[in-house]
Amino acid sequence: MSINFIFMRIIYIFIKALLALVLVWPNFSFAGNVTMPSSLVADTSTFVTLSDSGTTPSISGYTGTLLVSVTASDGNIKVTTTTNLKRASGYCGYSSDSDDEPTDCSGNSLTEIGFRGTQDDINTALATLAFKGDGTTGSPTVTLSVTPAGSLYNSANGHYYKVVNHGSSITWSAAKTAAEASTFNGLSGYLASITSSSENTFIDEKAGVNAWLGGTDRDSEGCWKWSGGPDDGKIFTVGNDADNTTSGGCTVDTGYTVYEKPFGAGEFGWNSNEPNDAGGEDRLHIKTDGTWNDYSNTQNVQYYVIEYGGIEGETATTTGLTTLTISSIEASGSTHQAFDDKQLAGMVEAQTESVKRWMFNSTNSVMGRMEQYRRTGLNNGLKFSDFKLALANNDGNQSIEDRLKKHYINEYSKAGLDSQGLTKDNVENFISGLPLTKYLKNEFSMEPKNWAVWSNGLISTGGIDLSVGELGRRSASEGFTIGADLNLTENSLFGFALRDETENVKISTDGSKFDSDNLNISFYNTWKPKNDNFIDTFLSFGETTQVTSRVVDVANNTKVAGELKSQQIYGAVKYNFAKNFKNITFSNYSSLNFSYVMFDKYSETGASNLKLSFDDRDLESTSLNFGTVVSSDLNFINSRLFPYLKIEFNEDLTENSTLKASYLSSSSNQYTTDIGKSFSSMVGMETGFDWNFNNGWDLTTTINRIDKNGIGHQNYLKFNAVRIF
């Protein structure tokens, strides 16, 4: 094979490829984008601008003159700015294209608007696009489409149409030939085939003239077929009077039985007594009233309708289409439900679970103090203790050491207290001045010098993915408890505690979140009615403030804010019974935890019509706990070691809490949701030791894990350092 032959072959292939590219070039075009809000709340009283949702309708990536159409399935739409736009045939009452401004697109009773213009001018108009509900059942939709000018776009089937004015009479055959020689937007043309009532209405409203369609019975009298396009050869009518489905071997194809019988004027299909084959009529045209008639090939018709789309293998090269679902809250029988919003559903469930988690942490803090007391038997002296670090899906961006040092060690260590001039005597004077202390002293002769002061600190980073609804959440908290207790008798310990805790909760990754501040006072008692048996009681009064930030439009990060306050009364009764085997103690226990939470009503603020007002509500919660603690007492020369292992089961018996809310823009419709519990049971395991030294130091280390019914877990590492002054 010669080099010249190879070279010529390469040239031939190159030219062939170039020709192919040229031939298909019309099928390549730019790609554009259409932006619409993801949701909108409207009513029947006034027009709501779509941009009020936080997302402004717009198009991008297009050049040249464009046709934009907006259709509402129900309700009314309009634009209030039409500067520099041009009229489009078939839209806003205009029968033909014109360079005049489409001012009638600003009417108050339109279900469809359309106009021509450049991208920039169209976006100026779309910024004023508004919707008003008409009370129709369901959730209306607004569909925005953009195509090159020169066609009509039917969003129902994705096809394009041209109504061609020949200027003089044109035969059906010539119209068919012209239509099939036409292309638009990368699609081949054909005389229109109408296959639905909505398509018939679309063509009638856009054309409004006598025009040829693609139907004919020229091959077999009374056997009407579509000629050309994706429905080529499909039989849609049998019989000259359209009252048969089968005749002379001609049978209506499936899906076309709608044409079996004659239709009255103005209805979809044949006009009365048509087709009648008067004078050998075998071509289909649509009349000005939208009904059909049969004509001969040469009768006086100067318009024809070209349809593009539906042919296998063809795809439009330039199209933009986006649909917005309106939550028309005033519509009678509307299916809109505010709590279908995932961000909202996740927020309200997380708010409830945050309060329950706060009460759980507070209860465990105090119960843990009573357990420690029973293990060690120590209560005398002034103590500052218990630094607790929660390791829950640890976030590496958090500096645990720095936060622990900043918030707890520096502030509450012996050195930190000394630097503030806080000594044992000062603390005793402070406790002496408390109303509770004065009451106990007067009534029960309890001296403050006999009180032991303790503290409990908690840092939690990362949180737990609780899988609320379809959105998980992450939490991070910091809490600190300071308490004081004393022995009422040899068999009874009484105390009180103050706890402050903050928490940050993130709802998914879209930006919804809330910050929670919690404060409470608790009273507790452990009583030994007989050897190796104890009864613990605990009662707390708390208050929580949750500052919320909720995303209502994810695409544009539009948010609304709120502040929810709640008050809590909660407590626990715990029965402990122990068995000793030499130096090993088995402590079994069961407890009943209860709570009553009162959530205040509140309203959201922000630049969105999706702001909600929430009613007040109550939440009653009950849980049962069962557990076992195995501990030992080991004596050394200068110290005693108390290692232990604890296993605990918790069953949440909480009933659903009903929350009611309404949009601030329309308080007439109220929405409800039942907030259930995210988990029903928990299993906890804890191990560690208490190490008491003769020099006054007590050290405690604990490792704890809690599993919540297979949906998440949390690990704790606890270090407790006690110095007896």
- Lowest mean pLDDT of 1-10, 382-391, 626-635, name the range: 382-391
**Cα angle at 167 between 154 and 177, to 5 degrees?**
65
For 292-331, how does the pLDDT look when each residue is reduced to its tens digit (9 = 90+)? 889 999 888 999 999 998 888 887 765 566 777 665 555 4
Which stretches of 422-491 are assigned E, i.e. beta strand?
A: 452-461, 473-489
Letter for the amino acid at 61?
Answer: G
Nearest residue to 302 via CA among 178, 219, 148, 159: 178
Q: What is the mean pLDDT of residues 640-647?
A: 81
Letter for the amino acid at 554?
Answer: V
Tokens, residue 122: 């169209």
| In the predicted structure, residue 122 carries a pLDDT above the cut 90 | yes
Residue in the structure block whose two tokens are 């103090």: 369
Letter for the amino acid at 614?
Answer: F
Nearest residue to 497 via CA among 474, 486, 481: 481
Read off the pLDDT band of 108 (50, 70, 90): confident
Around Cβ 446, how many Cβ atoms within 10 Å?
Answer: 18
Confirm if 629 and 587 have CB atoms less than 8 A apart.
yes
Confirm if 174 and 152 have CB atoms less than 8 A apart.
no
Which residues have C-beta within 8 Å of that of residue 86, sequence separation ≥ 6?
A: 65, 97, 98, 99, 100, 101, 102, 115, 116, 117
User: How far is Cα 656 from Cα 674, in angstroms, rounded to an integer?
Assistant: 6
For 179-196, how does the pLDDT look when each residue is reduced to its tens digit (9 = 90+)? 999 988 788 999 999 888
Identify the bridge partners of residue 519 per DSSP, sorted by sequence position.
Answer: 500, 543
Residue 357 is predicted with a pLDDT of 82
Letter for the amino acid at 595?
Answer: S
Read off the pLDDT band of 462 (50, 70, 90): very low
Nearest residue to 41 via CA among 602, 608, 668: 608
Tokens, residue 579: 């068995």
The Cα-based distances of 300 to 65, 212, 296, 308, 399 in angstroms read 33, 10, 9, 25, 86
Residue in the structure block whose two tokens are 């001296």: 447
Three-state DSSP class for 316? coil
Confirm if 211 and 303 have CB atoms less than 8 A apart.
yes
Residue 589 is predicted with a pLDDT of 86
Residue 105 is predicted with a pLDDT of 92
Q: What is the mean pLDDT of residues 333-342?
A: 65
Residue in the structure block whose two tokens are 């050869």: 233
Phi, psi torsion values for 241, nearest 5 degrees? -105, 10
- Containing 14, the helix (H) or strand (E) segment is helix 3-24
For 196-239, how does the pLDDT look when each residue is reduced to its tens digit (9 = 90+)? 877 888 888 777 789 999 999 898 888 889 999 999 998 888 87
Confirm if 113 and 24 have CB atoms less than 8 A apart.
no
For 620-636, how does the pLDDT look when each residue is reduced to its tens digit (9 = 90+)? 888 888 888 888 877 78
User: How far is Cα 494 from Cα 480, in angstroms, rounded to an integer?
Assistant: 20
Around Cβ 699, how many Cβ atoms within 10 Å?
Answer: 16
Which residues have C-beta within 8 Å of that of residue 9, sequence separation ≥ 6?
A: none
Tokens, residue 487: 């022995």
For 243-263, how does the pLDDT look when each residue is reduced to its tens digit (9 = 90+)? 555 565 688 787 665 444 444
Phi, psi torsion values for 153, nearest 5 degrees? -115, 125
Read off the pLDDT band of 265 (50, 70, 90): very low
Tokens, residue 548: 């919320």
Residue 21 is predicted with a pLDDT of 37
The Cα-based distances of 490 to 273, 466, 494, 677 in angstroms read 108, 44, 11, 42
Around Cβ 315, how many Cβ atoms within 10 Å?
Answer: 11
Read off the pLDDT band of 277 (50, 70, 90): confident
User: How far is Cα 552 from Cα 559, in angstroms, rounded to an integer?
Assistant: 6
Tokens, residue 592: 């009943």
Which stretches of 634-665 are assigned E, i.e. beta strand?
A: 634-635, 639-652, 657-663
User: How far is Cα 236 from Cα 253, in angstroms, rounded to an integer?
Assistant: 6
User: How far is Cα 455 from Cα 387, in angstroms, rounded to an integer?
Assistant: 8
Tokens, residue 106: 């600003």
